[in-house]
Structure 1
Amino acid sequence: MNVAKMIDHSLLRPELTTDDIRRGCDIAARRAVASVCVRPSDVEFAAAALAGTGVLVGTVAGFPHGDTRTTTKVAETRDLVDAGADEIDMVLHIGRLRDGDTAYVHDDIAAVVAAAQGRVVKVILENAYLTDEQKVTGCRLAERAGAHFVKTSSGFAPGGATVADIRLMRATVSPHVEVKAAGGVRSLDTLLTLHRAGAARFGATATEAILDDFAARERGERPVAAVTTTDGGY
């Protein structure tokens, strides 16, 4: 199991300095993770820092609330692609999903998928604000609109990834659409639990601790802790 290639190293907190972003990119390159996920203003910097490393540059659109106009999300996505982004994590319009305005939600996502010009698009549902029925609807709309991933959370809402949500999302979308867990993935045990539930990618800030723990267990230096099925983890 290549745990590193399941991790999107998250660098989204508003207080991060350029030095923090540089150190985060260094960690990502050294640990050979799947990607970094940086703030839009950091995309060019991260693309230059990670050139030739094999680590993808991800970023966010309509973040963290999803309530910007579709035209704004489209312009933002095009600009981010031009700046060097390989992956776009967009927030769907949470309020419109709760309204039941499925046409708006679908078209909003589809417009970003088109603007991404073939780059991977992950759709953040922000499950903390949704019923299970709304989560299912959001996942189906994201798939129909051409998204590559459905994602639990932005990390900035009152709750994050849960086992129940991962199972529900994995059961809802087709096999070619993957599930990303974000919000509360702070330990290897949490990551493994959510992976077994169906998540393929994980947003994490505790990347080094997770990978150090995995390496130690692989060497037999630490016992493999019992994997629980708690719905917590934010």
Structure 2
Amino acid sequence: MELNTYIDHTLLKPTANEREIIKLCNEAITYNFYSVCVNSSYVAIAKQALKETPVNICTVVGFPLGASSTPAKVYEARQAIKDGATEIDMVINLGYLKSRNYVAVLKDISEVKNAIGNIPLKVILEISELSKNEIVKACEICLDANADFVKTSTGFSKSGATLTAVKIIKKTLKGKAQIKASGGIRDRETALKYIEAGVDRIGASAGVAMMSGQVSSSTY
């Protein structure tokens, strides 16, 4: 198992500058990570830095709160793809979910997925804000909306991925969608535990530390 092929090498902090984005891309090339994950304003820069390489470009939509309107999410996703994104990570509307307005949650995800077609869509649940039953319901809606992945966390809430939540997600998805764990995964040993638990992708800013056997202090 090659850990590097699971990693979405991530830099989403609001103070990230162009030099840091280019450094992130160069690290992704060096270690042959699956992708870089950047805010949408930096997708075009990442595309230029990664041209003629196999590294994918992931960006976030409705990030980090998930509370922007569905048309805004759709526009953001479409524009990101025009700029060069090859994967979209969108944040679920937690308010709709907490309101049990499941039709609105489904519509939110479905419209983004319909807008991007075959581009992989990962739906971020923010598990630290959800009960077990809410995680299960969110996963069921993601399947109904034809999402490609369920992602645990933005990395911007009170905590990130947990193995317990991953087990709940895996049991609910039943292999019909993939799983991305993110938030607080800072070392190789922890990443491998998540992969053993059934995760298909790891979102982390600590990719280089993972590959070198170190522990990163990064929160994402």
TM-score range, shorter chain: over 0.9
Structure 2: how far apart are the matches of 1:159 and 1:83? 31
The gaps in structure 1 that reach 5 residues or longer are 215-232
Structure 2 portions without partners, runs of 5+: none
Q: Highest CA radius of gyration, 1 or 2?
A: 1
Deviation digits for residues 79-138 of structure 1, max 9, x if unmatched?
111111000000010111111111000110000101112100000000111000000000
Residue matched to 2:116: 116
Percent identity over the alignment?
Answer: 38
Q: Given that residues 143 and 176 in structure 2 are in contact (C-alpha distance below 8 angstroms), is that contact kept between their aligned partners in structure 1?
A: no
3-state SS, counterpart of residue 213 of structure 2: helix
SS of structure 2 residue aligned to 1:119:
coil
Corresponding position of 1:128: 128
How many Å apart are 1:176 and its aligned residue? 3.5
**Alignment partner of 1:90: what SS?**
strand
State the alpha-carbon separation in 2 of the partners of residues 155 and 175 from structure 1: 24
* Matching residue of 1:47: 47
Alignment of 1:80-99 (within 5 A): 80-99=80-99
Task: Find the counterpart in structure 2 of residue 143 from structure 1.
Answer: 143
Instruction: Tell me the equivalent position of 2:209.
Output: 209
After TM superposition, the runs of 4+ consecutive aligned structure 1 residues lying more than 3 A away are none
User: Which position in structure 1 is the counterpart of 2:32?
Assistant: 32
Q: Matched residue of 2:14: which SS?
A: coil
Q: CA deviation at 1:180?
A: 0.5
Q: CA RMSD in A?
A: 1.3
Number of aligned residue pairs? 216
Give the SS at the match of 2:51: coil
SS of aligned partner of 1:58: strand
Distance 1:208 1:9 in 2: 9
Q: Structure 2 counterpart of 1:114, which letter? A: N
The aligned counterpart of 1:228 is: none
TM-score, with structure 1 as normaliser: 0.90
